[in-house]
């Protein structure tokens, strides 16, 4: 018998003491030069993506004369903490207590993120694991809706908010992001790869559909909803829906601090410090969940 074939090539065969032919697997190896090249390319991309954040940190430690120096310099010659020290005095001059802005941001971000994950999970489960009239049409509509950006839907969304009386309410901050189609698409794609045998085993054990969803499906799609947690929280934290809020009592923390940072050239340094502080919560969540994002993208078909 000849050697086994694979893609038109003969695979190496080794005879064992028992007289059996065993296919010898070949290990894929790269040269050290190739490994070094891949490492340098990935390191270059990583530094390029980290550069804006690093530049924002450096700007926040620059004194006023270095911020407006021309040509601008990447490094700081005389670092100072004055930009951070001025933030408490600036927030004390606000019309509304600073704690109110913090409460609005935390409440909207946490509540909106939790409700969004809950709603998209309930909607994605039947789309992924059950066939009902119009299920394919519904999923096609979700895919098409991914093509529309917030700029395209801003005007009709504002009209809808005004007609329903949700302007200057928490609903105006919560509902637009809660209806974003990306989360539903992501959860549906991830739930689709769960074997039906696992769901059938749950039904045999006497679990109903809701129990199967929360006790079987959701633990298996943990990378997906952790990734969604990061994206949705970041969107809410950065002031999603702030265009529908005109009452100072309902404004979010980024909006209030942004007004401070843009109120004059003398506050440019404090503005840079505020930008760094606003980036910390989303960045912290990403650092603790970055491995889950890679796993999610590999299983959901997103490029």
Q: Rounded CA gap, 135 and 76, in Å?
A: 58
pLDDT at 262: 65
Residues 161, 184 within the same domain: yes
Q: Are 267 and 127 in a shared domain?
A: yes
The C-alpha torsion from 258 through 260 and 265 to 268, rounded to 10°, is -60
> Is 118 part of a structural domain of the chain?
yes
Q: Is residue 104 part of a domain?
A: yes
Q: Cα separations (Å) of 12 from 22, 182, 201? A: 9, 48, 43
Q: 206 lies in a domain?
A: yes
Evaluate whether residue 15 is within a structural domain: no
Low-confidence ranges of the chain (pLDDT < 70): 1-30, 91-94, 240-242, 261-267, 289-303
Question: How many independent structural domains does the chain possess?
Answer: 2
Q: CB-side exposure of 20: number of CA atoms within 13 Å?
A: 4
74 and 129 part of one domain: no
Residues 64 and 96 occupy one common structural domain = no
Whether residues 178 and 291 fall in one domain: yes
How many CA atoms, within 13 angstroms, populate the side-chain half-sphere of residue 190? Answer: 28
| Domain of residue 294, residue span | 87-300
Q: Which two tokens stand for residue 51?
A: 């550069």
Give residue 300's pLDDT: 47
What pTM value is reported for the model?
0.70
Regarding whether 65 and 210 lie in a shared domain, the answer is no
Does any domain span residue 100?
yes
d(CA 224, CA 124) in angstroms, rounded, equals: 12
């Amino acid at each position: 018998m000849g050697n086994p074939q694979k893609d038109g090539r003969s695979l190496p065969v080794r005879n064992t003491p028992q007289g059996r032919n065993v296919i010898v697997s070949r290990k894929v190896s790269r040269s050290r030069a190739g490994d070094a090249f891949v490492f340098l390319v990935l390191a270059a991309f990583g530094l390029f993506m980290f550069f804006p954040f690093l530049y924002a940190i450096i700007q926040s430690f620059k004194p006023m004369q270095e911020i407006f120096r021309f040509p601008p310099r990447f490094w700081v010659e005389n670092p100072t903490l004055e930009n951070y020290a001025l933030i408490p005095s600036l927030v004390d001059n606000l019309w509304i207590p600073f704690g109110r802005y913090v409460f609005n941001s935390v409440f909207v971000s946490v509540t909106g993120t939790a409700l969004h994950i809950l709603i998209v999970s309930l909607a994605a489960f039947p789309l992924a694991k059950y066939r009902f009239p119009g299920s394919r049409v519904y999923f096609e509509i979700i895919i098409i809706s991914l093509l529309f950006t917030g700029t395209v839907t801003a005007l009709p969304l504002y009209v809808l908010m005004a007609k329903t009386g949700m302007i200057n309410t928490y609903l105006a901050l919560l509902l637009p992001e809660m209806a974003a189609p990306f989360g539903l698409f992501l959860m549906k794609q991830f739930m689709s790869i769960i074997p039906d045998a696992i769901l059938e085993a749950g039904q045999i054990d006497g679990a109903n559909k809701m129990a199967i969803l929360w006790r079987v499906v959701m633990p298996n799609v943990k990378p997906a909803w952790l990734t969604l947690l990061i994206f949705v929280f970041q969107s809410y934290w950065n002031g999603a829906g702030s265009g529908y809020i005109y009452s100072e009592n309902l404004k979010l923390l980024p909006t209030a601090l942004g007004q401070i940072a843009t109120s004059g050239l003398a506050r440019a340094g404090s503005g840079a410090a505020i930008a760094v502080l606003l980036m910390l919560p989303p960045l912290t969540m990403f650092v603790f969940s970055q491995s889950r994002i890679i796993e999610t993208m590999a299983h959901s078909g997103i490029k």
